[in-house]
Structure 1
Amino acid sequence: MTSLAPYVRILAQGKGRARSMTQDEAESAMALMLSGAPAPEAVGAILMLLRMKGETAPEIAGFTAAARGALPGGWPGPAPDLDWPSYAAGRTRGLPWFLLSARLVARLGHRVLLHGWNSHQSAHASVRASLGDLGIPVCQTTAAAVQALQARNIAYLPLETLSPALMRLLGLREVLGLRSCVNTVLRMLNPGSAPAAVQGVFHPPYRELQADAAQLLGQPALSVLKGGGGEFEHHPTKDIAIFGLRDGAPWTGTTGIHADGRRRLAETLSDPADLAAIWQGRKTDDFAEAVVISTAALALDTLGVADPEATAARAWAARHDTPAQPEFTP
């Protein structure tokens, strides 16, 4: 079958008759959309009908399962320990301090796979532009990412090389003028099948939606946070609710408060070079460092690390003692 018409009818056949798709139906619909065979009008209809209706956990789980199954070549090596998606636009956020958190987690020996697309970010807050200065390899293939994880415990996969088909669906935002459920699917993607995952959201209702979908997919450990600009990044002056999974079961928690005062994430250091300067100790900023440490602690908690806050703080204090990492060319 190459037509999406049956799935459009499910969602749009009228009051009292329309319904949500089952997980299997959603998986089949997404597989078709990723194949490129259906008419683009039908793809747009599916995405906008879901936006108007509101996605369900089975629909997101089905879409995600199809997206994982369509990844070119699969995952060619050992699974990473932690999946860390980065797909927020970040128009108003500050620097991506969470990248230092991810590197801190990797320094502790956990293999962290970052993947993403951040097309709307301003130049000063760009995730992609900051990776090189932080020693995070940008990999053009999954095989290169596996090698980077083995050599450095951290890697970044751009969406456009990870899955051109998903990149094409994400790009429909420019055509349709609205965000679609593809953004949620990308956060759920977990291309390396990591047993632990962290996800950021901008709108609070998606915390429970993504946690419920992840449970349907058999994800063991997950933390979903309303974070800075929609990224998995903790604002240290706020005690924020977290939703997710532990041992595959629904779980909720709170972040705690790690800094005093009231301050926006954008109201701190703003030069992209400041990211590396903070890591290297050439600059200090109590607020930025509280962001890094508290975010890393949440990731460590997801990984099942005992006393994650103290572990993150000790690792931050000892980050300059890290042995020189081997050169790696992805």
Structure 2
Amino acid sequence: MSISSYIKEIGRGANGARSLTQEQAREVMGQVLDGSVSDLEVGAFAIGMRMKGETAEELAGFLAAAHERCLAIPSNQPVVVLPTYNGARRLPNLTPLLALRLAQEGVRVLVHGPLQDPKRVTSAEVFQSLGLPAVRTAQEAERAWARHEPAFMRIDALCPPLSRLLDVRWVIGLRNSGHTIAKMLNPVRGARAVRVTNYTHPEFGQLLAQYAQNEQADMLLMRGTEGEPVADARRVPRMDVSLRGVAREELSCPAQDGALAQLPVLPRDNDAATTAHYIQSVLSGEKPAPAPLERQVELLLAAVAAMQDEALEHSA
């Protein structure tokens, strides 16, 4: 099969490009993920979408195609989903600390992302340094939760076709829509899941909010720390929670204003081993957790509690 007709629509440049319908987006992404189109078409599609940018309808269609090809992770309790696809460049990667703090509070946490990035420190590497190996199956994820540990799953185990699309980046030198899809992926089935989805540019944050509203999604939207779904340890970012697509101001918080009175004590190096040692010292109580990260934990705990309350009201 060919996706040339779709490429023709999206590849007309910034002013002439036309957006796909949700069903068209689902169809084209399905073909891309199934490997039924040529490498040349995949590259053209990736660059065309990069230039045009996605709409909320296209994101919904792309995600539907990815979810159809993704391993389902069953749960009978709410789950916090942390997509970790950027890693650390300058600051320590504290996504594993966020996951472990939530697990300490009794929350089921699913983290997914790549194993390595040649230029960054991935969450997978930090988890490995902490002695927490990646899970490969839904059963292993369940066992991790039973131990009150977060479950980290590599994207090539969770959704192999999407992992292959992410790898196109290393050929063409640009991220593509697969990266956006991965950061919005929700493989949890049988229970609601709060996706912590981060953005860099405010316009993309607005697009994600529109997606959450359209799809009645449970999400915490925030400006990421170097693209990671964890609050910047130095300053509280704006964090907006939506449940079933409805913005919940009482579960959200504004960005911290003004000058910082005090900076947290963070490790000087951001390699996996040093970061893991710092995380262990925080979890043991030897060092305080960064206040912005603790604020994020509070919001996510409140969101999970709100979902549980809604479930009780529905069953009453």
TM-score interval, normalised by the smaller of the two chains: 0.7 to 0.9
Q: What pairs up with 1:1-330 in 2 under 5 angstroms?
A: 2-12=1-11, 18-72=17-71, 74-78=72-76, 80-94=78-92, 96-117=93-114, 119-120=116-117, 125-132=121-128, 134=130, 136-152=132-148, 154-193=150-189, 194-219=192-217, 221-235=218-232, 237-251=234-248, 253-255=252-254, 257=256, 260-261=260-261, 263=263, 270=270, 271-272=274-275, 273-281=277-285, 283-284=286-287, 286=288, 288-304=289-305
Q: 1:47 to 1:141 in 2, by over 3 A?
A: same
Q: 1:132 to 1:12 in 2, by over 3 A?
A: closer
Q: 1:41 to 1:57 in 2, by over 3 A?
A: same
- Equivalent position amino acid for 2:239 in 1: I
- Equivalent position amino acid for 2:124 in 1: R
Cα distance in 2, alignment partners of residues 148 and 294 from structure 1: 25
- TM-score norm. by structure 1 comes to 0.79
Cα distance in 2, alignment partners of residues 4 and 192 from structure 1: 30
- Equivalent position amino acid for 1:93 in 2: L
- Equivalent position amino acid for 1:115 in 2: H
- TM-score norm. by structure 2 comes to 0.82
Cα distance in 1, alignment partners of residues 184 and 195 from structure 2: 9
Q: 1:56 deviation in Å?
A: 0.7
Q: 1:161 deviation in Å?
A: 1.2
SS at match of 2:188: coil
Contact 1:98 1:292 (8 Å CA) reproduced:
no
Cα distance in 2, alignment partners of residues 15 and 268 from structure 1: 42
- Of 252-261 and 31-40, deviating more is 252-261
Which sections of structure 1, spanning at least 5 residues, go unmatched?
Answer: 307-330
Contact 1:91 1:120 (8 Å CA) reproduced:
no
Contact 2:87 2:117 (8 Å CA) reproduced:
yes
Offset from partner CA, 1:67-124 (integer Å, 9 cap, x none): 001114x335546522111111432222x2232222222222221111112633667x
Cα distance in 2, alignment partners of residues 304 and 169 from structure 1: 36
- Equivalent position amino acid for 2:261 in 1: G
Cα distance in 2, alignment partners of residues 55 and 262 from structure 1: 39
Q: 1:248 to 1:135 in 2, by over 3 A?
A: farther
Contact 2:3 2:41 (8 Å CA) reproduced:
yes
- Of 268-277 and 101-110, deviating more is 268-277
Cα distance in 2, alignment partners of residues 297 and 89 from structure 1: 23
- Identical aligned residues as a percent: 28
Contact 2:95 2:123 (8 Å CA) reproduced:
no
Q: 1:274 deviation in Å?
A: 1.8
Q: 1:190 deviation in Å?
A: 0.8
Q: 1:105 to 1:264 in 2, by over 3 A?
A: closer
- Equivalent position amino acid for 2:296 in 1: T
Q: 1:237 deviation in Å?
A: 4.7
